[in-house]
Each structure stands twice: as C-alpha cells, then as structure tokens.
A and B are shown apart, each in its own frame.
Chain A
C-alpha cells in the first residue's frame, strides 16, 4: 500500500511550469535591480544608493564651502564696531604694562628689604659701642 502511495507521489515530479511562464518570469526577474543595505541597515536598490551617495556628497560640499567662506571674512570687516579689547595695539600695550609693573614691584620689594637690613646693622653697631 505504501509503495503505491510513494509511486503516486513520484508521479507528481513530472509536473513542470509552462515554458512561456518560465521565459517571461526569468526576463522580468533578471531585469530588476538587486537590493543593498545602506549604513543604517535599510534595504535600498543599487540605483537609490547611488542617488543617496550623490546627495550626501553634494550636501558635504555645500557645508564645506559655507564653513570655508566664513573663514575668509575677518571680524573687522564684518562688524562696523571695532572692539577695543580685540585691538592688537592695545593688547601689546597691556602686555608691556604688566611686565613694567612686575619689574617695579620687584624693585620696591628689594629696596624695602635693604632698609630693614640697614636698620638692623645700625642697632648692632649701637650695642657694640656701648
């Protein structure tokens, strides 16, 4: 009984699709694009991936030009007001002033010390003379 069943099932193997269907289906399938996954793992067609790459490239170029364009303009030319704190000459004068003041401070400190030492020597001499 089982052999008869297996024999019948094997008969099903002779079933084939029509040649016309095979030819049409094959042509349509091979003419369609394969899908790729972009960086986010989303499936997109190869054509869409080229479009996406072109769009990203153009956007990057525009951003680069925009950032590079800003650097060509100095702040002086952009703003009608010249900020004194950003003036180079003022900055240099302040720097020199700072050094001068430090030097003066050092001299004053040193002079003060000498006076103290001088006073101490006078006292000692007075004690010795006694």
Chain B
C-alpha cells in the first residue's frame, strides 16, 4: 500500500491524472506478474494488464474504499479479465515451452541453470492448479498479501482463503515431487 493512498485515490476520482499515475507506477508490476503466471504468455499478459488499469481509471468513480489497499480492487479486475480472456480464447498457451520472462529472472549461467529449470517447473505446476488456488499462491507467496487482503480480492472469508492456501500448497507439492 502506498503512503497517502487514500488521498491519491480521492484526487484521481476527481479526474486528476498524476495521482492515478502514481498508483499505476506502484501496482503495475504485481498485477503484471499475477496475470503472467496465469496466462503464461508475455504479450497477452501485457494486453490484459493494460486493460486492467484502463478499466480502473475509467471506472474509478465506482470504487468504494473499504479500508483495504487499492490493489485488492485491481486484483479483482485482473481476475475477471483473465477469466474473460480464457472464455474468448480458442487455444490455451503451450505450458511446456519455457517462458522468456523466466529466463530474465535469473542469470542463465551454469550455476543458475537449476534455478531456471526449477522456476519453469513451478510455473507449470502453478498453471495446473485451479484458478482460485493459483490466485492464492501468487498473492500470498509471490506478492506477500495478507489473508485479509486476499479474501477481499477474491470475495471470500479469511477462513476460506486459508483452506484454499493449504490445498494449493499440497497440490503444488504433489505436482512437483510426483515428477521426480
């Protein structure tokens, strides 16, 4: 959460561009990561990320601050955009290909090759979880959101989020170590 986020949102709701620009700068990376891990395609992730922030800017007047970070609302929009994307998309991406983005994460040197391969395996495993389990894994373990924030973003109770998290981690372990 940005310091003074409430004030930025209020000013942005009045049509001021610069405050929304600051919100954009702060949240573009986590939203992009969230979408990239789910759609596994860089260009699609860029398009969808752009759509998320465009929707947020255009519909900012309908946003109601409930004490949660602005990111909770952005994640809600992102989830819906991904769902709509899969509804209209005919073929899913080939999950077996190594994503270029992952190669940029770590140096592709001999010592780090294992890291890159592990990343590819984890990404493939995450992509095989249910949509909600993916959401919890990314928000909790990649973006470090609290259970309360995740519950708000997913429209669930904290208890439901904890249960989802537990199942997601177990499924992930099964998928990863079953291959070994």
Contacts and interface: CB of A to CB of B under 8 A. Distances in A.
Contact of B119 (A8, A26, A34): A8
A9 B105 contact: no
A30 B28 CA distance: 14
Given A8-B122, A16-B29, A36 B36 contact: no
B118 interface: yes
A32 B21 CA distance: 13
Contacts of B59: 34-35, 43
Contact of B142 (A10, A18, A25, A33): A10
A13 interface: yes
Contacts of A26: 21, 24-25
A48 B88 CA distance: 30
A13 B143 CA distance: 7
A130 B49 CA distance: 129
B60 A29 contact: no
How many B residues touch the partner, as a band?
35 or more
A83 B88 CA distance: 73
Interface residues of A, number: 30
B15 to A, nearest CB: 6
Contact of A5 (B54, B104, B173): B173
A108 interface: no
A46 B61 CA distance: 12
Given A29-B24, A32-B58, A34-B58, 17 more contacts: A5-B173, A9-B141, A13-B33, A15-B104, A17-B29, A25-B49, A25-B50, A25-B53, A26-B25, A30-B57, A32-B54, A34-B15, A35-B61, A36-B61, A37-B61, A43-B59, A46-B15
10 contacts: A5-B173, A8-B118, A8-B119, A9-B137, A9-B141, A12-B142, A15-B104, A17-B28, A34-B15, A34-B60
Q: Top 4 A-B pairs ranked by shortest CB distance?
A: A9-B141, A17-B32, A30-B17, A25-B50
